[in-house]
Every structure is written in structure tokens, then in C-alpha cells.
Structure 1
Amino acid sequence: MSSTVPIPFSEPPWLMGLPSAYYTESHRAWQKTCRTFVERTLMEGAPAWEKAGQVPGIHGLPGGLRVEDFDYLHTLIYTDEMARIGTKGPSGAITIGFAFGLPPILAFESRLLQERFAPDLISGKKRICIAITEPGAGSDVANIETTAVRSDCSNYYIVNGSKKWITNGIWSDYATMLVRTGGSGPSGLSLLIIPLKGYEGVTMRRMQFIGQTAAGTTFIDLEDVKVPVENLIGQENHGMSYVMKNFNHERLTISITVNRLARVAVSSTFEYCMKREAFGKTLIAQPVVRNRLARCGAALESHYMWVEGLVYQVSKMTKGRANAELGGLTALAKAQSGMVLNECANTAVLLFGGRIYREIMGSRIPGGSEDVMLDLSIRQLLRLYQVKTKELGFHSRSSSKL
């Protein structure tokens, strides 16, 4: 039994000693392993690393979990524990590129390409990032302008264009990059594995932001870059469908990370308010302070339980069904995470202070900006309703063509 009582809102309910139907002994053991890893390797150094914009080499990652025991709840636990440091930079430097750049290679490519790239990436000898966003195409992914044209000899794609806001790009040997190989719109896009560091025609420069400074956000210029045609992931002009399947994973992990950042802000403020005195009594004794903390706590815990439920559903569904059924809700949960962090970080600054405020905009935009996610969620939910209605032989009440 712990010798200390946790601060209110400092942990999700299942770690506050409350019953949960979700977690097995495997999950609980994994949580302890991840927490030990974070405490030993990240917690103390994270503020300095974020200030410096660089994370030193991290040797070893949490282990002891059998592959056959792994499910998406283990992902939730790992992601949540990594965000306990209260900033997205150091954890993002370690995981984001692999988390989003490698999965398309494993999911959609031939065994030959997997054998060429996966061993060095999984072992950490090489690094990879995901490169989708451009200066003129952020959440509007269908209008990507970076082109990949077949060479006269048909052995290469010649790639020209720019990518912006690419997390981990500056350190990456490769990028899983969305490029235009066909006509306009989403049906003309493909995914290529693009060599980066030291590769002819590739220029990269570090970008500086108010938050997540240690994650290596990068601007990439590509000028007549020759990429072997064998580096095509899956089929040509099918890249948009691959990216959309990857987006659900990205948005769900963003939701988990951002929720924990909000939790750090609220619980740290709660702890401070129990000690800080003003006008002859502690801040926590002031009704207006309690009201602010209550609003933040309600938003925080409601969002966590929603995300936790989504994660459980993903763990019990096939990938295809989860993408179809949960895409709209995942987009909505991602948008909501930024709103929750905004409220919690603002309250923390008013009552206490803290660096988490810098992470707000870097949480509301990546993975699809907030307004786009809100609209996308309704469009996908409407489309799912119409498909299911049609399958039952009924006519949908809505004639919308969204």
C-alpha cells in the first residue's frame, strides 16, 4: 500500500484505487514497468531537455511484455505514462516518428520492403518520421502538392516539393511521405519511403515553436530527389486510404497524451492551492478557486473515460471495423482533448503558473486541426449512419451529400 495519498485528479480512476472492468494483471504490471522507466530516464531531465531542444540518447525502453499479450490498452498506458513529464517534447522525440512512420510499412507493404527497412528501424539503428503536412496543405490532406513523377527509365520517382511541421524530421534517416503521383484530389496520392539525412536533393532545417521544442520539428525541401520505385508503399495512388487508417491511431494517441498533460496541470494546481495562502486563508478555501478546479476536473475526467472507452473498443474490434465505426468519434475525441487542455492550462496559469500552457496550440493542430476534426467527426458519423441504413434496406432521413 502506498504511504502517500494521491492528489485529486493526479491519476486516472483505475490508478486511484477505483474498480475497473478494463484492466488485467498484464495491464497493471505494464503500468508499473512504464512508470519506472519514465521516473528513471525522463522525469528529472525533461525540463532541461525541453529547454535545450534536444534529448540525449535513451538506452532501453520498457520491456517484459509478451507480444501475444499486447492490446491497445497497453498503448494507452504507455502513452499516458510518457506524458507524465508534463511536456510533449522529450516523449515526442523518442516515439512520434516510429509510432506514425513505421506502421504503414508494416501494414501495407510487401515483405521485401519490410525486410529492407523494418529491422534497422525497430532496433533503433535508423529513424523514420511521417511527412504529410505542407506549407499550403495542413489538415486539407487531399490537396498535397509535393509531386513524385516516374523517371524516363521508370526506375525512380523524381520528387519535388516541401513538407512542413514534420516531427522528428531533423533526426530521421527516412520519411514515410505522402506525395502526388496521379491527378488532383485524394485519388492521386501515394506513400513513398524517402531517404532524408545526407540524401541528394533533400534539405532540412529545424523549426522553433513555443512548445514541444525537443521533438525536432522540421521543414523539408525536396528538389529532384531520386527515389527508387521499390520504395512505394502498397499501391500507387492508394496513399490517401493508407494515411486515413493511420490517422485514427495518431488521433487517439494524441488524445491520451493531451489528457495527461491536462491532468498534470490540474493536479499540480490543486496541490499548490492547498498550500498557498491569500487574504488570510488557503486558495482552496476560496469558492471561486474551487469552482475553477471543479470545472477543469469534470472536463478532464469526462474526456479520459471517453477515450478509455474508445481504446477498449479498439482492442475488441478488428482494425478494419474500428476504422469504419470509430473514425468520427476518434476525431471528435482528439478535438475535445485540445479544448480540455486549453481550459486546464488556462486555469493553472491563473492560479499557479507552469509551462504546460505552451503545449496548447501544439495539441489542437497536429493530427488535424480542431475545427476540421469537429466537422470531420459529424461527416463520418453521418456517412456511417447512411451506410448502415442502406444495408437494412431503409432510406436515410438525410439527403445530405457531405
Structure 2
Amino acid sequence: MSVTSAAVIPFSEPPYLNGLPSPYYTPSHHRWQKACRSFISENLTANALEWEREGLVPPEIFSRFAAANFLLPNLPAPLPIDWAKKLGLDTLAGGLKVEEFDYLHFLIYADEMGRSGLSGPGASLTTGMAFGVPPILKFGSKQLQERFIPDLLTGRARSCIAITEPGAGSDVAGIETMAVKSANEKEYIVNGSKKWITNGIWADYATTAVRTGGPGPAGLSLLLIPLKNNPSITLRKLTVMGLATSGTTYIEFDDVHVPVENLIGIEGMGMRYIMTNFNHERLAIAIGTTRQARVAVSTALEYVLKREAFGKELIEQPVVRHRLAKAGAMVESMWAWVEQIAYQMSQMKKEDADRELGGLTGLVKASAGRVVDESARCAVLLFGGNGLTRSGKGELIECIYRDAPSARIPGGSEDVLYDLAIRELVKNYRKKIREMEKTSKL
């Protein structure tokens, strides 16, 4: 592809969209990007700021995404080909076949979903499919899948992932919500609470981490719990910093009866099941967060090209250029890293990627949170008073600034992930040393 001659605000698009050479993208990826840009721009990006201001993405937008088969791409690659074909979802936008979809297609989709610069509107449409459905597809029994997957994949029903609790955030092994079998062993009786559950207020079902056994990770299981029209379940929308449209929810279970057939996989395997989805979740967050940082920096640059102070445009001030240079360098470095991770995931078997990339994916998610934080701060400072105002020229920047902490906490808080990354890398290193030593003795 030749270098584009179009005038594009610096840092506003990934390099491959400016026509710069890249080893990653095929014609299939470029066609998919154009299809995503067209649909998402019209049906999400154009109104995202207005919806965030109002605190709600209209329900018909979810239905519109479902009807256009723009929910399925939230799932980990490879997509569930058999289910997609069975449900008539085998072709995505731009003529992309589900069997061709890889993690670079996912990267493109997640990047386009974040192009408004806001986390909430996209999260309101994607989180349930991206994180609530995969455990059912990977580990659910055939019967469980037959009961729920058709409605979930087609968007006739919505889901959420319910792991975090008031006393157990990143400490998943500390979950206290109990699921005890009834006397006749036909039901689980669930008691406990979940907090900060994205999309929970709209979800029909929650893929829920519960304690079916003793303390620690070995006592955890996953249950699919119906949420609607149950007097034993309380759903309360939470007001949080930023993410006004994401449907953050407090869920309380008070003697909730759930059929044993709703167990996902095997009792006691919940922690392992949860861990298998973390690479996908953390990469998704990192991609969206990096685009958000990109929007902050490029919007600030566009502003200082027009804003005059002290008799000249702000861009003529060396200190302004210095701030933009530092933030822009962080954004482009971050994007190169998420591209690399996405490519690696597209080339590796899942079990190999989980093992080799688990620590690095935690690191890339944590690092992206710091990048958007610094980028948002840079933008607020360059916008000055306008960057502090929830209206007018700086409204988007002020929203991004409030969103930034939400990139550093969900999906594993920053400090936990930094520690996890090193522990995983050291564990893999030591394992390989032991394997080399065994081989040398043969």
C-alpha cells in the first residue's frame, strides 16, 4: 500500500491507516476495517458523547448491532464456527467469513469501537458478549449451550460476567458468594453479592463465580444465573467515575434457586475457567484504552493548532510541543505493543498463548492504563480551563480524564497485574531451565 497523501491530524490514526507499511495486515483486514469504520461510525461514534452525557445508549442500538452481526466479533478468535453457521451468523461485515476471523480482525474491531474516545458507550454493547459468553462456549455442556447460546449469540438475550465482589476484586480466589446444593441436589441455592458488574442492569443472564467448595481457588465454580424477574435478585445501577453508559451494577443474591444444569463445566474448576478468558479480556481493554489515549492526544493537538495565546498559536510554544511529543510517543509505542500481542495470539495455539503471553498480556493492559492516564492529563492541561468543563470545546477531554482510572482497575488492577506479569515470566523461565537441565542429562 502506498503512503496516503491525505492530511491527517498526527497521532489520530494507527500508522497502518495512514498508509504506512505494516507486516501484519492483509487485504482481508483492510476490508474489515472499512466495514467496521462505516457501520460503527454511523451507529455508535456519531452519538457516543451525547449518549454518555445522558447516561444511556438507547436499547435499539444493541438490537441494531445484533441484526448486523456486529456482536459476534467480541468473542475470542477463532469464533465458534459451528454455532455461527447453525444460526446464520457465518458472514460478517465486508464479506468476512467467521472461519477467517483472527485476532487482528478483533484488534481492528475493538479499535474502531473505541474511536469516540469514550469507554462507556462501546462497553455497553460489547462486555457481555466478550466476557460473559466465552466460558459457556468453552466449558458449558451441550445441553447448556443448546438452551442459551442461540439467544446470546443472536442478541435476543444479553449477558454479563459477574466475578468481582465488594470484598474480592482482583483477589478472585477470595470470592465469598456461596452456592449450596439443595437437599434433593436438583438446585444450587445462591447467596452473596457482586459489585461493579458491567452491563449487569440490562443482562438476562450472569456468568457468575460462586463458591461451591472450601476456601481458595479450588472451591470456585461458574454458574449461569438468570437475572430477570426474580424477586430474590436485586439489581442496582451504580454511579461511578466515568463510564456513565456502561451499566455498572450491584447484584445481590438472596436464596436464589438455580438448576444444577446451569453449572458451567465441572465443580471446582471455576478459577481455571476464569483464568482462560483473562488474555482476551485484558487485550480487549488494552486496545480500547490505547485508542482512547490516541483520541486524547490527537484532539489536544488539533486544539493547540487553532488556539492562540500570547500572540501566537499554542503549537508554537516549545513546552506545548514537548508535552505532545511525550504523550504521542507513549501512544504509538503502546499501539505497536498491542498490535504485536494480537499478531502473536493470531499465530499461536490458545494453550500456548495462555502460557507464553499471560504475563505479557497483563503487562500490556496495565501499561495501557498508564498511557491513557498520562494522555488525558496532557490533553486537560493543553485545553486549560476548557478541559475542566463538562460542556463546550473540552467536554470530550474531560470525559476521557474521568474514564482513565477505569482503565487501570477493571480486568485486574494495575499493581496486581504488574506483579502477576513478573511472576508468570519468571515461572516460565524457571520451567524452561528445568527442561533444559533434564535434556542435558539424557
Q: TM-score, normalised by structure 2?
A: 0.88
SS of the residue corresponding to residue 93 of structure 1 reads helix
Which of these residues, 430, 435, 440, is aligned with residue 386 of structure 1?
430
Aligned counterpart for 1:240 among listed residues 266, 271, 288: 271
Who is 1:357 aligned against?
401
State the SS of the aligned residue for 2:57.
coil
Residue 271 (str. 1) matches residue 302 (str. 2): yes
Give the alignment partner of residue 195 of structure 2, picking from 158, 164, 185: 164
| 1:42 aligned onto 2:44 | yes
Q: Deviations over 1:168-224 (max 9, x none)?
A: 000001000000001100111000001101124111100011211101000000010
Q: Give the one of 216, 221, 228 matched to 2:259.
A: 228
Query: Could you tell me which residue of structure 2 aligns to residue 398 of structure 1?
Result: none
What is the distance in 2 between the residues matched to 1:378 and 1:213? 34
Q: Are 1:27 and 2:58 counterparts?
A: no
- CA distance in structure 2 between the aligned counterparts of 1:391 and 1:187, rounded to whole angstroms: 27
Deviation at 1:2, TM superposition (A): 7.0
1:373 correspondence with 2:417: yes
Separation in 2, partners of 1:3, 1:297: 21
Specify the code of the residue in structure 2 equivalent to 1:20.
S
Choose from 345, 353, 356 the match for 2:376. Answer: 345
Per-residue Cα deviation, 1:49-71 (whole angstroms, up to 9, x for no partner): 11111111121444232111100
SS in 1 for 2:115: helix
- Find the aligned partners of 1:204 and 1:109 in 2 and give their Cα distance: 25
User: Counterpart of 2:104?
Assistant: 73
Give the 3 Å change call, closer, same or farther, for CA 385–2 of structure 1 in structure 2: closer
SS of match in other structure, 2:225: strand
Structure 2 gaps of 5+ residues are 71-92, 388-396
1:336 aligns with 2:367: yes
Distance in 2, matches of 1:199 and 1:108, equals 26
Report SS of the residue matched to 2:201: helix
Identity %: 60
Task: Write the mapping of 1:65-214 to structure 2, written as runs, cut at 5 A.
Answer: 65-214=96-245
Instruction: Please give the alpha-carbon distance, in whole angstroms, between the structure 2 residues aligned to 1:346 and 1:394.
Output: 51
Q: What SS does the corresponding residue of 2:213 show, helix, strand or coil?
A: coil
| SS of aligned partner of 2:250 | strand
Given residue 360 of structure 1, which amino acid in structure 2 is its aligned partner? A
- 1:44 offset after TM fit, Å? 2.1
2:342 alignment counterpart? 311
Q: Given that residues 233 and 251 in structure 2 are in contact (C-alpha distance below 8 angstroms), is that contact kept between their aligned partners in structure 1?
A: yes
1:8 Cα offset (Å): 0.5
The code of the aligned residue for 2:214 comes to G
Distance 2:437 2:143 in 1: 44
Q: Which moved more, 1:37-46 or 1:15-24?
A: 37-46
Number of residue pairs aligned between Structure 1 and Structure 2: 395
- Report how far residue 4 of structure 1 moved: 4.0
SS, match of residue 215 in structure 1: coil
Structure 2 counterpart of 1:399: none
Counterpart residue number, 2:88? none
Q: Which runs of 5+ in 1 are unaligned?
A: 396-402
Shift of 1:3: 7.7
Is the 8 Å Cα contact of residues 4 and 18 (structure 2) preserved in structure 1?
no
Q: Distance in 2 between matches of 1:138 and 1:291?
A: 38
Task: Tell me the distance in 1 between the aligned counterparts of 2:431 and 2:208.
Answer: 31
The residue matched to 1:169 in structure 2 has which SS?
coil
Taking only aligned residues, the RMSD between alpha carbons, in angstroms, comes to: 1.3
Q: Secondary structure at the match of 1:44?
A: helix
What is the alpha-carbon distance in structure 1 between the residues aligned to residue 277 and residue 137 of structure 2?
Answer: 11
Match of 1:17 among 16, 19, 22: 19
2:131–2:161 contact (8 Å) kept in structure 1? yes
User: Which residue matches 1:286?
Assistant: 317
Q: TM-score, normalised by structure 1?
A: 0.96
Deviation at 1:149, TM superposition (A): 0.6
C-alpha distance in 2 between matches for 1:5 and 1:189: 54
Q: Give a deviation string over 1:99-155, Cα, whole Å, max 9, x none.
A: 100000001122111111000011111110000000000000010000001110000
